[in-house]
Structure 1
């Protein structure tokens, strides 16, 4: 069984252009993510998937395996699919290029169902929200699952609404996903779904079409960098750890 780790890195982010090369303690964010992913010992290979020569050149100069992909992809799942057409693996684990503080053991936890022999279509990680402002932050995607951990809904709004009880912790998406080739082929071969358009959340295409995504809850303090303000927080945290 072969498992690839793929780190999508797009330069022209709408909210934060040039994000993969933004410096954190003197090194680009893509270096921090790649370094964390390489600490996971269960991947057969680790690639950065980009559409930009600046990112490609940095990777090549720093001995990071990189694959150039189309600059026409609407999202990262299409980019991972292109990798799956070029390189043959059983599973493709996507680690978002904006998660510089992702812990190796958190990344590895997405492989547990595979290790246990479960039949997998797609997997995601989620964690409980501890900072109240993140519950209303539209950039942090909230997740609702059934009793078996399969996704029922994903939203930028705080769901579920705590009307009957406040004894609930909101769960948010963590930027680690695992796809089979079947899942990738289904996604790129299907039209954008209605809720996906409304919420602007890629994975709703699976859920709306009755495809099961399993969510694994982890204890993670990771912080995705969606804006320059997020980058400032990460710099403070990383520099604090180094002191």
Structure 2
């Protein structure tokens, strides 16, 4: 059985929501929700937070979590993860977004499972997608869409609705004529694939769409897309916290 670790990159600085990882959600900081949900995975051996901020570092330490301090000049969350795991024994590394407080252990395990199957040994990265059921989500540029081949390997990710529906006369016809998938931003890497990825130069498609996973595709890396029936809410602004709280309150326990 490979050794699998989860890493949650967490920065304090954010143009839209400074201090986001420490935002209070029903009495707990958001980073703790993410950490504890990641710990509920049945396949992950250990979870770490990788941060560049002492406030986040101390918060994680105080609730008993594993945390690694990383340099502030590291440009992306993926680079922060690669820095954090360079001296950690792990065969598979899971990049768990620090602003996904509704991510579940089951979802994380679904993304990991392709690496445990012999027939899928040509995978570099795996990720999740969920079927889009409303027009607003389909046309929202903040929601990333993905298309994949018959073996569920990603062909392209975009902020635009893909594939384009030529026969649709109105927006509400798109979902009647085609099937569309929202990308959920969790990434599972083979160790060597993670370090290969962070050493690649930023690609042209990545620069246009502002989606770093396109760098992997442009360089021939294979991304397996696992379809899930569960969705999450990424927290980008303070108003998103209210949506998360509303969902958590609807659950029988939290």
Short-chain TM bin? over 0.9
Q: Is contact 1:139-1:226 (8 Å) kept?
A: no
How far did 1:131 drift?
3.6
Q: Secondary structure of the equivalent of 1:126?
A: strand
Q: How far apart are the structure 1 equivalents of 2:156 and 2:67?
A: 33
Post-superposition CA distance 1:81-107 (Å, at most 9, x none) = 112312121000111111111122111
Q: 1:145: which partner in 2?
A: 148
Structure 2: state its 5+ residue gaps: 169-173
Q: 2:171: which partner in 1?
A: none
Q: 1:198: which partner in 2?
A: 208
Q: 2:101: which partner in 1?
A: 100
Equivalent residue in structure 1 for 2:160, among 157, 164, 172: 157
Asked if 1:123 is matched to 2:133, the reply is: no
| 195-204 vs 156-165, greater mean Cα deviation | 156-165
Q: 2:60: which partner in 1?
A: 59
Q: Is contact 1:123-1:178 (8 Å) kept?
A: yes
Q: Is contact 1:84-1:181 (8 Å) kept?
A: no
Q: Secondary structure of the equivalent of 2:184?
A: strand
Post-superposition CA distance 1:139-185 (Å, at most 9, x none) = 21111111111111111111111114642232111132101122222
Q: Which runs of 4+ in 1 moved over 3 A?
A: none
Q: Normalising by structure 1, what TM-score?
A: 0.94
Q: How far apart are the structure 1 equivalents of 2:100 and 2:16?
A: 15
Q: Normalising by structure 2, what TM-score?
A: 0.91
Q: How far apart are the structure 2 equivalents of 1:29 and 1:47?
A: 15
Q: How far apart are the structure 1 equivalents of 2:34 and 2:87?
A: 23
Post-superposition CA distance 1:26-66 (Å, at most 9, x none) = 11111111111111122111111111111000011110110
Q: How far apart are the structure 2 equivalents of 1:125 and 1:82?
A: 24
1:11-160, aligned counterparts within 5 Å? 11-117=12-118, 118-119=120-121, 120-160=123-163
| 197-206 vs 103-112, greater mean Cα deviation | 103-112
Q: Secondary structure of the equivalent of 1:86?
A: coil
Size of the aligned set, in residue pairs, is 243
Cα 1:12–1:133 shift into 2, 3 Å: same
